[in-house]
Amino acid sequence: ASKRNGRDRYAVFDPAMYADVLREARVRTELERAVAEEQFFVLYQPIVDMPSGRPTGVEALVRWRHPTDGVLGPDTFIPYAEESGLIVPLGRWVLRQACDQLAEWRRELPSARELHMSVNLSARQFQNPNLVEEVADAVSRSGIEPSCLVLEITETTLMRDSDVVLAALHGLRRLGVRVAVDDFGSGYSSLGYLKRFPVDILKIDRSFVQGEEDADAATLTEAVIGIGRALRLQTVAEGVETSAQWSTLRELGCDLGQGFYFARPSEADVIARLLAGDMPSVALLDAG
Ligand code: C2E
Ligand code: MG
Ligand code: MG
Ligand code: MG
């Protein structure tokens, strides 16, 4: 019996699980330091006008230049940043970077005068009572017009703690910034939410966009574009990777597109060259 107990006890101290706990603790400590030392940088991915393939905006996507592990994508650290609350200072930093960058492009590049900037907000940021104030601050110190800022929030965030989110969205709307529902269709929101929440843009989840061979996915994409049209919301297709997807979406009347086919998330100087026309995107080359 004691042998069995021994084995059971051993199972509790599963080394793999222990390693996970250690790793999590390490990430959390490192993240705190990373926020203090600003070890982050922002990449920008063009969002293009569907008919022409020309960029009308960019989405800011954060990266962590980890001191020993190289460049880390948001999926590896945003969940920890949310859990620990560090997403609040990190998100504020990203927002300021993005607004300042947009101000610079709009000032210096004639082709960027109408450019929009999209920034992701996570659920945890809506619990920050100063959110609206911080957005107002980032906008005013950069000198951009509020209407060229788009804040992206996922369906899941809309559903969670919806009164708090609703109040914040009204505050953001009063500022004049626009709101996009990110990954639309991937969660469980009821369409009623679209009426209740003041949103301007629907970003169609890439699982629909990429399911070309899948008749259901194509039907759902078409349905979402129809909902967007009915509610006078702009539609953006996420994850466009092929020219076939581009033409299908164009025919369906999707307003905007984003994806590796047009351009990958890129450093600000690469985006500036793309905007200046020194470096046409694949889609522009394809369109001739
Ligand atoms: P998201 O907001 O849905 O951003 C789009 C993600 O799809 C980005 O991943 C982008 O690189 C990727 N993507 C774009 N085009 C394609 C494509 O054609 N094919 C494929 N397979 N992927 C494509 P990324 O940069 O790894 O970001 C992942 C998620 O992390 C974002 O999803 C967003 O939810 C979150 N995130 C990124 N930056 C921030 C931030 O500053 N704050 C917060 N709260 N979340 C962020
Ligand atoms: Mg997004
Ligand atoms: Mg998305
Ligand atoms: Mg996503």
pLDDT band at 59 (very low <50, low <70, confident <90, very high): very high
Query: In this structure, which residue's CA is closest to atom 43 in ligand 1?
Result: 120
Q: Distance between CA 57 and CA 114 in Å, rounded?
A: 8
User: Is the pLDDT assigned to residue 175 strictly greater than 80?
Assistant: yes
**With a 6 A CB cut-off, is 10 part of the ligand 1 pocket?**
no
Residue 149 has pLDDT above 80, yes or no: yes
Q: Could you give the CA distance from residue 198 to residue 261 in angstroms, rounded to a whole number?
A: 31
Q: Separation of 61 CA from ligand 1 center, angstroms?
A: 6
Residue 26 bridge partners (DSSP): none
For the cut 80, the answer to whether the pLDDT of residue 108 exceeds it is: yes
151: CA distance to ligand 2 center in Å? Answer: 8
pTM: 0.92
**Which of these ranges, 43-52, 151-160, 226-235, 239-248, has the smallest mean pLDDT?**
151-160
Could you read off the pLDDT of 109-133 as tens digits, one per residue? 999 999 999 999 999 999 999 999 9
Return the pLDDT at 12.
66
Q: Which residues lie near ion ligand 4 (Cβ < 5 Å)?
A: 183
CA of 183 to the centre of ligand 4 (A): 6
What residue owns the CA closest to ligand 1's atom 14? 259
pLDDT number for residue 19:
81
Q: How confident is the model at residue 283 (pLDDT cuts 50, 70, 90)?
A: low
The reply to whether ligand 1 has any atom less than 6 angstroms from the CB of 221 is: no
CA 183 to ligand 1: nearest atom: 3
Higher pLDDT, 220 or 34: 34
Task: State the average pLDDT over residues 224-240.
Answer: 95
Ligand 1 pocket, residue 205 CB under 6 Å: no
C-beta of 82 in contact with ligand 1 (< 6 A): no
List pLDDT tens digits, range 12-32: 677 787 788 888 888 889 999
What confidence score (pLDDT) does residue 1 get?
45
260 CB within 6 A, ligand 1: yes
Mean pLDDT over all residues of the chain? 90
Which DSSP string corresponds to the chain? Answer: -HHHHHHHHHHHT-HHHHHHHHHHHHHHHHHHHHHHHT-EEEEEEEEEETTT--EEEEEEEEEEEETTTEEE-HHHHHHHHHHHSTHHHHHHHHHHHHHHHHHHHHHH-GGGTT-EEEEE--GGGGG-TTHHHHHHHHHHHHT--GGGEEEEEEHHHHHTTHHHHHHHHHHHHHHT-EEEEEEETSS---THHHHHS---EEEE-HHHHT-TT-HHHHHHHHHHHHHHHHTT-EEEE----SHHHHHHHHHHT--EE-STTT---B-HHHHHHHHHTSS--HHHHHH-
Across 233-255, average pLDDT: 95
Decide: 241 in ligand 1 pocket, CB within 6 A: yes
Q: Which residue has the higher pLDDT, 161 or 80?
A: 80
Atom of ligand 1 at shortest distance to CA of 154?
34
Q: What is the mean pLDDT of residues 158-165?
A: 86
Q: Judge residue 131's burial from the number of C-beta atoms within 10 Å of its C-beta, 0-12 exposed, 13-18 middle, 19 or more buried.
A: buried
Q: How many CA atoms lie within 13 A of 27 on its CB side?
A: 20
